[in-house]
């Protein structure tokens, strides 16, 4: 007998919290939590204030642990135990006989009738089982199926990230665009993008743009790479970043012309429907983000270029106005 184990006068052993925890493979803190949420009855206490558990309490903890291992939440476990205990009471009531009076027998019959809808006997006449218990099992089974499907999808995504060597903090499609754009810079002599701003831009686009809009981003990015336009585009980015706040109009005009000549070559990748509608909240956010650190000259360039690109992309089949790229 452990130091915490004692016996009642009738010979029934009393279990302390540590005994129950050790035998059930849980912690004393877990027992306290079970009591606090009503899963485990509050046990009587001895003269010293220690909890005095019985074998029935240990059995209940083991039942709770078993149901938890199947995946039931503690909230569901409470309902499960109530359902199963109700069936046990029904079986006991139905099996009692002998000396009870007519009133007691009538009460038991009423109990049996009330349990009929919640219980069924199998073909061998075994003890009735509550249908609500099996409905809970069905619900848990479906929940586990959904979790398994989600985990399988996660594993497929992880395998793809490893196979394609993609950035893990970006959505897959954005990570592919980032890889495609960065892969064009094997030559160290080429100007490289601002990694942080570009990643933030791609992250926002991938999460905030609708399918149609982000598909356009993918098409334009692919065209810039496949058509060998990316180095020139990056060079313009570097020149724009170096544009002084008081830059002369001639320098702004020259950069505008260079940028337009590049975008003209990817106009076939543009979906005009994206440009013949009001800006979405996500697009307004992207515009504000792209302008937040621009100096006065850069803002002038950005405004002019945006206006001409909008006119160009609203009708990509229309011949380009000679003044638009000069």
- Which residues, including other chains, have CB under 8 Å from residue 235's CB and lie 6 or more apart? 191
* 236 & 305 share domain: yes
In a domain, 159, yes or no: no
User: Does 185 have pLDDT greater than 60?
Assistant: no
* 218 & 311 share domain: yes
Predicted confidence (pLDDT) per residue in 53-85, tens digit: 999 999 999 999 999 988 889 988 998 888 777
**Average pLDDT estimate for 271-289:** 88
* 198 & 312 share domain: yes
* pLDDT value of position 190: 45
In a domain, 163, yes or no: no
Predicted confidence (pLDDT) per residue in 157-166, tens digit: 999 999 999 8
In a domain, 153, yes or no: no
Nearest to 14, CA basis, from 65, 71, 55: 55
Indicate the average pLDDT of the chain: 80
* pLDDT value of position 264: 92
In a domain, 27, yes or no: yes
Predicted confidence (pLDDT) per residue in 112-125, tens digit: 444 444 444 444 44
* pLDDT value of position 319: 60
* 319 & 212 share domain: yes
* pLDDT value of position 320: 55
* 126 & 45 share domain: no
pLDDT, greater one: 321 or 246: 246
In a domain, 166, yes or no: no
User: Does 93 have pLDDT greater than 80?
Assistant: no
CA distance 85 to 91: 10
* 176 & 305 share domain: yes
**Which of the listed residues 69, 97, 120 is the one where a domain comes to its end?**
69
Lowest mean pLDDT among 71-75, 126-130, 180-184, 273-277: 126-130
User: Does 213 have pLDDT greater than 80?
Assistant: yes
- Whole-structure pTM value: 0.62
* 21 & 125 share domain: no
DSSP helix/strand/coil, 120: strand
* pLDDT value of position 285: 87
What range does the domain containing 43 cover? 1-69
* pLDDT value of position 148: 94
* pLDDT value of position 162: 93
* 198 & 246 share domain: yes
Nearest to 317, CA basis, from 270, 276, 278, 275: 270
Predicted confidence (pLDDT) per residue in 3-50, tens digit: 455 555 444 568 999 999 999 999 999 999 999 999 999 999 988 889
* 48 & 189 share domain: no
* 260 & 314 share domain: yes
In a domain, 318, yes or no: yes
**Which of the listed residues 24, 47, 69 is the one where a domain comes to its end?**
69
* pLDDT value of position 179: 87
Residue 184 — pLDDT band, cuts 50, 70, 90? low
* pLDDT value of position 6: 54
* 240 & 319 share domain: yes
Region of residue 210 (left: phi > 0; alpha: psi -120 to 50; beta: else):
beta
User: Does 317 have pLDDT greater than 70?
Assistant: no
**Which of the listed residues 50, 69, 88 is the one where a domain comes to its end?**
69
pLDDT, greater one: 97 or 257: 257
CATH number at residue 17: 1.10.1660.10
Total domains, the chain: 3
In a domain, 161, yes or no: no
* 116 & 88 share domain: yes
In a domain, 148, yes or no: no
């Amino acid at each position: 007998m452990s130091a915490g184990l004692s016996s009642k006068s009738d010979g029934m052993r009393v279990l302390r919290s540590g005994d129950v925890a050790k035998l059930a493979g849980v912690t004393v803190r877990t027992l306290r939590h079970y009591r606090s949420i009503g899963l485990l009855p509050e046990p009587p206490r001895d003269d010293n204030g220690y909890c005095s558990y019985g074998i029935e309490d240990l059995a209940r903890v083991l039942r709770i642990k078993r149901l938890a291992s199947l995946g039931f939440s503690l909230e569901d476990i409470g309902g499960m135990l109530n359902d199963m205990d109700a069936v046990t009471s029904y079986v006991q009531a139905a099996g009692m006989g002998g000396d009870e009076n007519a009133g007691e027998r009538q009460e038991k019959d009423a109990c049996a009738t009330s349990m009929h809808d919640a219980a069924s006997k199998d073909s061998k006449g075994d003890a009735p089982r509550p249908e609500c218990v099996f409905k809970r099992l069905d619900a848990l089974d479906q929940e586990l199926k959904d979790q398994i499907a989600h985990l399988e999808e996660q594993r497929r995504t992880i395998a793809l990230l490893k196979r394609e060597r993609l950035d893990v903090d970006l959505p897959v499609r954005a990570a592919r665009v980032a890889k495609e754009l960065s892969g064009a810079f094997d030559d160290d002599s080429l100007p490289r993008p601002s990694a942080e701003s570009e990643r933030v831009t791609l992250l926002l686009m991938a999460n905030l743009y609708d399918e149609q809009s982000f598909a356009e981003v993918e098409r334009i990015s692919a065209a810039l790479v496949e058509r060998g336009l990316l180095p020139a585009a990056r060079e313009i980015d570097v020149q724009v970043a170096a544009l002084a706040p008081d830059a002369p109009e001639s320098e702004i005009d020259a950069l505008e012309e260079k940028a337009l000549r590049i975008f003209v070559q990817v106009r076939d990748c543009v979906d005009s429907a994206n440009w013949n509608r009001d800006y979405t909240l996500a697009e307004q956010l992207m515009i504000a983000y792209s302008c937040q650190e621009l100096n006065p000259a850069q803002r002038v360039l950005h405004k002019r270029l945006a206006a001409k690109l909008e006119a160009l992309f609203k009708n990509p089949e229309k011949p380009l106005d000679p003044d638009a790229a000069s």
